[in-house]
Amino acid sequence: MIVVMKADVGPDSPEVDRVVEMARRYPDVQTQVRAIQGTTRMLTEIYLLGATAGVPKDIFEEFPAVEKVIRIRARYRAIGRHDGEAEAVGFEYRGLQFTQDSLHLFAGLCAVDTRENVASVFRSLQAAGLQTARAGAYKPRTSPYDFQGHGAACLPYVFELAGKYGIRVLAMEVLRESHVDEIREALERTGHPTGVMLQIGTRNAQNFELLKAVGQQDEFPVLFKRGMGIPLEESLNAAEYIASSGNPRIIFCLRGMRSELGDPHRNFVDFAHVPVVKRLTRLPVGIDPSHSVGKKVKGPDGLLDIFHVTAQGVVSGANLVLVDFHPQPDQALCDGPQALLIEELPHFVEDVQIVREALLARRRVAERYAAPPAVAAG
Ligand code: PEP
Ligand code: MN
């Protein structure tokens, strides 16, 4: 059961103490107070855990400071929507808002290779009006003989260049907890020129200790990639590890499913799940068209499959697009075949804008059809 407090009631207030005290009168009920700073309001929630089946809702609903009481309907308590009852408040990071309504393009290098390429990509992003990017320093590779990323060594110049070109947030994958410390230290040493969103890759989707570690810190938000070969439900429970450890600032990212049925794409594109995840959880939802499609192939209409699947995700309401670009894809040390050329960035951005506008138009039409018919006067 979740007791949601009214907007101005903070986690340390006497009103919260009274709810906790009341809950503790029931045997085998534990409480946890969580505060979520959303983009428009602060949410203070009191989680009642354990034997709550016999605890009535109305005893809490009577408190003037309580906004509502929600019976938990899914195992993923903190990230769950619980039949639309739990609000998706989003979060703000480095001056940018991440919500179920926002849209940000995180374009850039799958793996950082040279300083020149990082500078060239960030410069192009700035020219295209983007303030968010991707840059991989730690790479989980199928073969131990493949390039594993430059690791901590590249962080100072990546962060400095991000700051120089106005990149406010970088998505960067971490494979272990010490990578978070390395990122924190490098940001401190360089004077925090940019922000970092910690990416949990599909291969670590069920690395529960890593999920707890990124959940126990509150400095960085987390971009969680769906597990490639597990049911959606299991990926949602995995994301719950992050939230239940204390960090509600999570974006859930779809990146295709491992399946031979997905051929000829690298993975079976799952962007039809954008509205599903938004309905089931309070999290903003991202898509990764590059790792889904995995190659640069074009339809007979002249549009790359990567453009088409991006459009499918964006027209369904995706809130973040993680996409690979490289100045010279044939020289990339990781995932070159799926990287778009820097020269293709303005086209990509324009295509996304068209589709985003289509989504907003679709929502207006849906609202019109949902409204009760106007009754003629007289
Ligand atoms: C990546 O984004 O570079 C990556 C490795 O993605 P995924 O974990 O989805 O394979
Ligand atoms: Mn990659």
Pick the CATH number of 2-70 from 3.30.70.1140, 3.40.50.2300, 3.40.50.800, 3.20.20.70: 3.30.70.1140
378 pLDDT exceeds 70?
A: no
- Say how many Å lie between the CA of residue 201 and the centre of ligand 1: 5
> Which residues are bridge partners to 34 per DSSP?
45
- Say how many Å lie between the CA of residue 367 and the centre of ligand 2: 39
What is the residue extent of each domain of the chain?
Answer: 2-70, 103-364
Question: What is the position in ligand 1's atom list of the atom closest to the CA of 140?
Answer: 5
**CA–CA separation, 372 and 375 (whole Å):** 9
Residues 6+ apart with CB under 8 A from 265: 256, 292, 293, 294, 295, 305
Question: What is the CATH code of the structural domain delimited by 103-364?
Answer: 3.20.20.70
Whole-structure pTM over 0.85, yes or no?
yes
pLDDT in tens, 159-194: 999 999 999 999 999 999 999 999 999 999 999 999
- Say how many Å lie between the CA of residue 87 and the centre of ligand 1: 29
- Pairing between strand 96-98 and 91-93? antiparallel
75: Cα separation from own chain's centroid: 20
Question: 50-80 burial by CB neighbour count: b if 16+ within 10 A, else e?
Answer: eebeebeeeebeebebbbebbebebebbbbb
- Say how many Å lie between the CA of residue 29 and the centre of ligand 1: 40
Question: How many other CB atoms are there within 10 angstroms of residue 316's CB atom?
Answer: 19
Ligand 1 interacting residues, C-beta cut-off 6 A? 110, 136, 173, 201-203, 225, 255, 288, 291
Determine phi and psi for 125, rounding to 5 degrees.
-65, -45
Confidence of residue 263 (pLDDT cuts 50, 70, 90): confident
- Say how many Å lie between the CA of residue 173 and the centre of ligand 2: 10
By alpha-carbon position, which residue is closest to atom 9 of ligand 1? 202
By alpha-carbon position, which residue is closest to atom 4 of ligand 1? 201
Mutate to test the pocket of ligand 1, among 224, 291, 326 (most ligand atoms within 8 A of CB): 291
pLDDT in tens, 337-377: 999 999 999 999 999 999 999 999 999 999 999 987 777 66
Question: How many other CB atoms are there within 10 angstroms of residue 262's CB atom?
Answer: 17
**CA–CA separation, 66 and 47 (whole Å):** 13
Provide the 3-class DSSP secondary structure of residue 19.
helix
Question: What is the position in ligand 1's atom list of the atom closest to the CA of 199?
Answer: 2
